[in-house]
Structure 1
Amino acid sequence: MLPQTTPISQQSSQHCHPSYSLDNVTYTKLIQYSTKTGSLVHGKLAHAHMVKTCFKPCLFLLNNLLNMYCKRGELDSACNLFDKMPKRNVISYNSLISGYTQVGLFDKAMGVFNEARVTGLKLDKFTYASALSVCGQTCYIELGKLVHGLIVLSGSGSDVVLTNSLMDMYSKCGWVDHAKILFENSDNLDDVSWNSLIASYARIGANEETLRTLVKMHQCGFSLNTYTLGSALKACCKIFDNSELFGKLLHGYTVKLGLDLDVVVGTALLDMYAKTGDLGDAIQIFKVMPYRNVVMYNAMIAGFLQIDTFSYEHANEVFNLLSQMQRLGVKPSTFTFSIILRACKSVEAFEYGKQVHTQVCKYNLQGDEFIGSGLIDFYSSLGLFEDALKCFNLTPRLDIVSWTSMVAGYIQNGETESAFDLFYELLASGKKPDEFIISSMLGACANLAAARSGEQIQGYAVKAGVGKFTIVQNSQICMYAKSGDIDSANLTFTETENPDVVSWSVMICSKAQHGCAREALELFELMKNCGIAPNHITFLGVLTACSHGGLVEEGLRYFEIMKNDYGMTTNVQHCACAVDLLGRAGRLVDAENFIFNSGFEDNPVMWRALLSACRVYKDTVAAKRVAEKLINLEPQAAASYVLLYNIYNDAGIELPAKKIRELMTDRGVKKEPGLSWIEVGNEVHSFVSGDQSHQMIQLIYARLEEMLGKMKKIGCMITSGPEIKDRKVVYYHSENLAVTFGIISLPQSAPVRVMKNLRVCSDCHTTMKFFSEVEKREIILRDPIRFHHFRDGACSCRDYW
Structure 2
Amino acid sequence: MRWGNMSHLRAKTSFNFNNNTQKSVFVLPTRQFGFSYSFLPSLCHPKNMVLDSKAYTKLVQKSANSGSPLLGKLAHSHMIKSSFKPCMFLLNNLLNMYCKCRELNFARHVFDGMPERNIISFNSLISGYSQMGFHEQSMKVFLEARESNLKLDKFTYAGALGFCGERFDLGLGKLLHGLVLVNGLAREVFVVNVLINMYCKCGEVDQAMSLFDRTDEKDKETWNSLISGYVRVGAAEETLDMLGKMHREGLKLTTYALGSVLKACCSINLKEENGMVIHCYVAKLGMECDVVVGTALLDMYAKHGSLKEAVKLFSSMPVKNVVMYNSMISGFLHTDGEACSEEALKLFMDMQRQGLRLSPTTFSAVLKACCVGKALEYGKQIHALVCKNNFQCDEFIGSALVELYALMGSPEDGMRCFASTSKRDIASWTSVIDCYVQNEQLESAFDLFRQLFLSCLRPEEYTVSLMMSACADFAALSSGEQVQGYAIKSGIDAFTSVKTSSISMYAKSGNMPLASQIFTEVEYPDVATYSAMISCLAQHGFATDALNLFEKMKTCGFRPNQQAFLAVLIACCHGGLVTQGLDYFQTMWNEYRIIPNEKHFTCIVDLLGRTGRLSDAESLILSSGFQDHPAMWKALLSSCRVYKNSVLGRRVAERLMELEPEASGSYVLLHNIYNESGVNACGEEVRELMRDRGVKKEPALSCIVIGKQAHWFAVADSSHSSSQMIYAMLQQQLDTMNSVDHETLVNDCSVT
TM-score (norm 1): 0.69
Change (3 A) 1:119 1:374: same
Amino acid in structure 2 at the alignment position of 1:250 = I
Change (3 A) 1:692 1:512: same
Amino acid in structure 2 at the alignment position of 1:387 = D
- Contact 2:569–2:584 (8 Å) recurs in 1: yes
Task: Report the RMSD for the aligned CA atoms in angstroms.
Answer: 5.4
Q: Which residue in 2 is equivalent to 1:614? A: 640
Worse-superposed segment, 64-73 or 497-506: 64-73
- Per the TM alignment, residue 308 of structure 1 is displaced from its structure 2 partner at its CA by 0.5
SS at match of 2:595: coil
Task: Say yes or no: does 1:645 pair with 2:671.
Answer: yes
Q: How does 1:326-365 map to 2 (within 5 A)?
A: 327-329=355-357, 332-333=359-360, 335-358=361-384, 360-361=386-387
Q: Which residue in 2 is equivalent to 1:765? A: none
Q: Distance in 2 between matches of 1:217 and 1:227?
A: 15
Q: Which residue in 2 is equivalent to 1:670? A: 696
Q: Which residue in 2 is equivalent to 1:313? A: 342
Q: Which residue in 2 is equivalent to 1:571? A: 597
Unmatched tracts of structure 2, length 5 or more: 5-45
Q: Which residue in 1 is equivalent to 2:284? A: 256
SS at match of 1:237: helix
- Contact 2:235–2:268 (8 Å) recurs in 1: no
Q: Which residue in 1 is equivalent to 2:612? A: 586
Match of 2:272 among 244, 248, 267: 244
Change (3 A) 1:515 1:337: same
- Per the TM alignment, residue 234 of structure 1 is displaced from its structure 2 partner at its CA by 1.6
Q: Which has the larger radius of gyration?
A: 1
Q: Distance in 1 between matches of 2:291 and 2:252?
A: 19
- Contact 2:656–2:666 (8 Å) recurs in 1: yes
Q: How does 1:119-268 map to 2 (within 5 A)?
A: 127-129=153-155, 131-132=157-158, 135-136=161-162, 139=165, 158=187, 160=189, 163-164=192-193, 166-168=195-197, 170-171=199-200, 174-238=203-267, 240=269, 243-268=271-296
SS at match of 1:247: helix
Q: Distance in 2 between matches of 1:40 and 1:58?
A: 20
- Contact 2:177–2:195 (8 Å) recurs in 1: yes
Amino acid in structure 1 at the alignment position of 2:515 = T
SS at match of 2:334: coil
Amino acid in structure 2 at the alignment position of 1:493 = S
Q: Distance in 2 between matches of 1:27 and 1:703?
A: 85
Change (3 A) 1:199 1:129: farther
- Contact 1:373–1:401 (8 Å) recurs in 2: yes
Amino acid in structure 1 at the alignment position of 2:514 = L
Q: Which residue in 2 is equivalent to 1:731? A: none
Q: How does 1:329-408 map to 2 (within 5 A)?
A: 329=357, 332-333=359-360, 335-358=361-384, 360-361=386-387, 366-367=392-393, 369-394=395-420, 401-408=427-434
Q: Which residue in 2 is equivalent to 1:492? A: 515
Change (3 A) 1:506 1:250: closer
Q: Distance in 2 between matches of 1:462 and 1:165?
A: 25
Q: Which residue in 2 is equivalent to 1:724? A: none
SS at match of 1:305: helix
- Per the TM alignment, residue 533 of structure 1 is displaced from its structure 2 partner at its CA by 4.7
- Per the TM alignment, residue 233 of structure 1 is displaced from its structure 2 partner at its CA by 0.8
Cα deviation code 1:199-226 (max 9, x no counterpart): 4434444333233222223223332212
Cα deviation code 1:319-365 (max 9, x no counterpart): 3377479x4456x34x5544343233333444544454455556665
SS at match of 1:221: coil
Task: Say yes or no: does 1:106 pair with 2:134.
Answer: no
- Contact 1:148–1:166 (8 Å) recurs in 2: yes
SS at match of 2:266: coil
Match of 2:306 among 262, 272, 278: 278
Q: Distance in 2 between matches of 1:609 and 1:197?
A: 50
SS at match of 2:251: coil
Change (3 A) 1:705 1:544: farther
Q: Which residue in 2 is equivalent to 1:760? A: none
- Per the TM alignment, residue 307 of structure 1 is displaced from its structure 2 partner at its CA by 2.0
Amino acid in structure 2 at the alignment position of 1:610 = L
Q: Distance in 2 between matches of 1:604 and 1:633?
A: 7
- Per the TM alignment, residue 197 of structure 1 is displaced from its structure 2 partner at its CA by 3.9
Q: How does 1:378-777 map to 2 (within 5 A)?
A: 378-394=404-420, 401-419=427-445, 422=448, 435-450=461-476, 470-472=496-498, 474-479=500-505, 481-482=507-508, 485-486=509-510, 488-496=511-519, 497-498=521-522, 500-525=526-551, 527-528=553-554, 533-596=559-622, 598-600=624-626, 603-624=629-650, 626-627=652-653, 631=657, 636-673=662-699, 686-688=713-715, 695=724, 697=727, 774=746, 776-777=748-749
Cα deviation code 1:107-140 (max 9, x no counterpart): 5864796599x467xx8xxx42564255236527
SS at match of 2:694: coil
Amino acid in structure 2 at the alignment position of 1:688 = V
Cα deviation code 1:428-455 (max 9, x no counterpart): 8887555555544444444444556656
- Per the TM alignment, residue 407 of structure 1 is displaced from its structure 2 partner at its CA by 3.5
Cα deviation code 1:89-121 (max 9, x no counterpart): 9889877876776666735864796599x467x
Cα deviation code 1:351-380 (max 9, x no counterpart): 544454455556665455554444333222
Change (3 A) 1:291 1:192: farther
- Per the TM alignment, residue 382 of structure 1 is displaced from its structure 2 partner at its CA by 0.8
- Contact 2:605–2:621 (8 Å) recurs in 1: yes
Unmatched tracts of structure 1, length 5 or more: 5-14, 715-747, 749-772, 779-790, 793-801
Aligned identity (percent) is 49
TM-score (norm 2): 0.72
Q: Distance in 1 between matches of 2:69 and 2:663?
A: 69
Amino acid in structure 1 at the alignment position of 2:237 = E
- Per the TM alignment, residue 309 of structure 1 is displaced from its structure 2 partner at its CA by 0.8
Q: Which residue in 2 is equivalent to 1:787? A: none
Cα deviation code 1:478-501 (max 9, x no counterpart): 45555xx53x14423323422544
Q: Distance in 1 between matches of 2:704 and 2:109?
A: 66
Q: Distance in 2 between matches of 1:94 and 1:679?
A: 50
Change (3 A) 1:627 1:170: closer
Change (3 A) 1:129 1:349: same
Q: Distance in 2 between matches of 1:381 and 1:222?
A: 48
Cα deviation code 1:231-269 (max 9, x no counterpart): 21122214646x323323323333433444444333322
Amino acid in structure 2 at the alignment position of 1:306 = H
Change (3 A) 1:679 1:651: farther
- Contact 2:337–2:372 (8 Å) recurs in 1: no
Q: Distance in 2 between matches of 1:690 and 1:295?
A: 57
SS at match of 2:337: coil
Q: Distance in 2 between matches of 1:272 and 1:225?
A: 18
Q: How many residues align?
A: 695
- Contact 1:411–1:444 (8 Å) recurs in 2: yes
Q: Distance in 2 between matches of 1:154 and 1:665?
A: 84
Q: Distance in 2 between matches of 1:198 and 1:456?
A: 34
